[in-house]
Chain A
Amino acid sequence: MSAPAESAPSQDRAALARARAAAQGSIRWELLSQLVRKDLKVKYQGSVLGFVWSLANPLFQLGIYYVIFTKVFTNPAPDFHVYLMAGLLAFGAFNTAVAGASTSVVGNAGLVKKVRFPLLVLPLSGVGFAMVQLGLQMPVLLVIALISGVNFFGPPLLLLVPALALLVLFSTALGVLVAALNVRYRDTSHFVELSMLIWFWLNPILYPAQLVKTAFDRAGLSDWFWLYFLNPMATVVSTFQRAVYQTPTYLDQGVSKDLLVDGGYVYYLRNLAIGFVLAGLLLLFARRTFTRLQADFAEDL
């Protein structure tokens, strides 16, 4: 047999082999969606109500806070439940995403130790899981808003798009970082859990951001209020609220008050821009950390 006739198919074969090796090492939607589906199945399998439970949590939270902040403490702000809902959903998704990502590698030890695949999909699947949940929670809670007679349709609703994007980016960045750290230091996931309790209060969820602004003003630190929005979640939460809560000012005992910190758009877009830069930098750092640590995952598990 002549040499060229022999080498051509073997070259094809080598090229195919390389392509397949690359496919085994790169992140694909297919794999990500399989992992998210797996998490959903595993979480709700065997429970009678299944996915309803994922709705029950925010609904109950909403109900409890609503009763406390409008009935126990009287609160003149109209449609307060819509305001509450926006913040609770946004932060809830963040919490689920980061907590899920933090245990994603450890929780999939069986896979990590047996199969070679791009490990970065694990924290991503934790974020994906949270976003799927959010996607199912949002319509339900919007329906509740509609039933209670609140019209949230309007141009501000478009702000949801960049706000969601920042939520995904920031959750991913933090999720990737804690997922990697949690393999070496199992304390990480406990630490994350506790931090979330504190972090919750760093966002204008149960209180108006205006309250913080007033406090800064009183202390003569008006120029430093932007520090509050160095927390990308504060930006996400307040933008969510701006998107769905359309009552910028109300009267409290004759005094005009704002529940939102700003009634325009530019303010939010500026904060979002800051958030994207911060989250982007964090993602770069997280990715590097993950890549550095991942080679030892199979051994450390």
Chain B
Amino acid sequence: MAQPVISARGVSKRFLTHSSKATQLKERFVKGRGLGTEEFWALQDVDVTVGEGETVGLIGPNGAGKSTLLKVLAGILRPTSGEVQVEGRIASLLELGAGFNGELTGRENVYLNAALLGLPKREVDRLLDSIVAFSEQGPRIDEPVKHYSSGEYVKLAFSIAVHVDPDVLLIDEVLAVGDEAFARKCLAKIEEFQRAGKTILFVTHSLDLVTELCTRGIVVDHGRVQYDGDPAFAVGTLRKILGTDRPVGAPAAPTLMGGITVRAAVAATTRGGPASGRFRAGDPLHLRVECDVLPGDEVYPGEVGVVVMGAGDIPVFALRTPPGAGLPAVPGHYCVEFVVEAVPPLNGAFILGVQVDHAETGLPITARRFDDAIWVETGTLPGLLDVPAKVTVTQA
């Protein structure tokens, strides 16, 4: 991973519920200190390290602690325990509001907000036109923002956040508020940021966005990190937590992390025949791969590929299930058969590699190798291929 830009180690955050917080002296005197204290752990022992240039999707059910985590990373909330370190200028779009004052006009809020982020005024003067243009507010920029709709509000806030040249961009579920055209613009901007090597961490409920855009997905539930890694798996894990991987009304399945496993791969000369593994050039080759699509969890459609590799894992040829005709997203035991009419004139022992990828995202789900699965004895000379050649010897 590139050098960490965001690092949180063992971060926990405890909230005292409002009733126990003595915001009035009266309560403090009447109740006494600590009496009736109800605590709530919004984050528990969270470890997150994000490297430069990563785009991380932070997902989880409502109340999981996503916003709390963003605020802790943004330096707005102090963690009850643990350590947080963030390098560089942080621009954050935290829920609705974005630090605007309703009485001030859009333009005045741009200046105020940029000043809060540490930008000098002349810099803002330079950026203003671009900020206004991107936010699509035009002449409305001189109206008090209290008259803005929530979408317009977010447009302006997002526009500021991306124009202040942040090193780290933290975005809470705000992008959903804008219209589709703007959402697209935002995504284009985020992609531009990705190319520029900026670090982005965003919370969203549109899970497709996570698989499309993110290099990593983190699932938070009940204040804990439940999964951190491949975006597609993160989405799957969340769907499992949410129960949206089952039809509406279906009973909850036991939580079980799954996917697809490769049980076996055999090579035979005849369809369904005994696994011989020994061939001669020109023999028919039947490859049978047995897979299990695991039940009771997020089920993925899989694309199965096999690679026949020589010594040193040099691929010789590969076969793959055609698009849309791979493993269905239905749990069960499956056989995938590949038929090669005539074995090429190979020479020696070959490795059979099986890899199953997610049919939609193309991300690897599982892989397994079977050493010495295929033996082809065509000739006696060294080399992967047995190349027929006519050899003559003459006197020069």
B120 touches A (CB below 8 Å): yes
Chain B residues with CB below 8 A from A20, complex form: 88-89, 118, 167
Give A23 to B76 CA distance when docked, in angstroms: 16
Chain A residues with CB below 8 A from B89, complex form: 17, 20-21, 23-24
A186 touches B (CB below 8 Å): yes
B35 touches A (CB below 8 Å): no
Q: State the main secondary structure of chain A at its contact with B.
A: helix
B111 touches A (CB below 8 Å): yes
- What's the nearest-Cβ distance from chain B to residue A47, in Å? 12
Q: Identify B24's interface contact among A112, A185, A299, CB under 8 A.
A: A185
Q: State the main secondary structure of chain B at its contact with A.
A: loop
- What's the nearest-Cβ distance from chain A to residue B198, in Å? 11
Q: Are B103 and A41 in contact (CB under 8 A)?
A: yes
Give A112 to B115 CA distance when docked, in angstroms: 14
B49 touches A (CB below 8 Å): no
- Per-residue contact bits, chain B 1-25, to A (CB 8 Å; 1 contact, 0 not): 0010100000000010000011111
- What's the nearest-Cβ distance from chain B to residue A276, in Å? 31
Known: A17-B167, A38-B104. A113 touches B88 (CB 8 A): no
A31 touches B (CB below 8 Å): yes
In chain A, what residue has the closest Cβ to B88? A17
Segment of A114-122, A143-151, A223-231 engaged in the interface with chain B: A114-122
Range of interface residues on chain A? 35 or more
Give A34 to B23 CA distance when docked, in angstroms: 30
Known: A17-B87, A114-B98. A24 touches B118 (CB 8 A): yes
Give A24 to B26 CA distance when docked, in angstroms: 37
Give A261 to B75 CA distance when docked, in angstroms: 52
Known: A14-B87, A113-B76, A185-B24. A35 touches B112 (CB 8 A): yes
Question: Which of A20, A31, A295 counts the most B-chain CB atoms under 10 A from its CB?
Answer: A20
Q: Are A110 and B90 in contact (CB under 8 A)?
A: no
Chain B residues with CB below 8 A from A28, complex form: 115, 118
11 inter-chain pairs at a CB distance below 8 angstroms, sorted by A residue, are A17-B89, A18-B88, A28-B115, A30-B121, A38-B104, A110-B97, A111-B99, A112-B76, A114-B76, A114-B98, A115-B113
What 8 pairs across the A-B complex have the smallest Cβ distances?
A17-B88, A295-B78, A23-B118, A20-B89, A114-B99, A115-B99, A34-B115, A116-B75
Binding site for A on B (CB under 8 A): 3, 5, 15, 21-26, 28, 71, 74-78, 86-90, 92, 94-95, 97-101, 103-104, 108, 111-113, 115-118, 120-121, 167
Binding site for B on A (CB under 8 A): 10, 14, 16-18, 20-21, 23-24, 28, 30-31, 34-35, 38, 41-42, 45, 110-117, 184-187, 295-296, 298-300
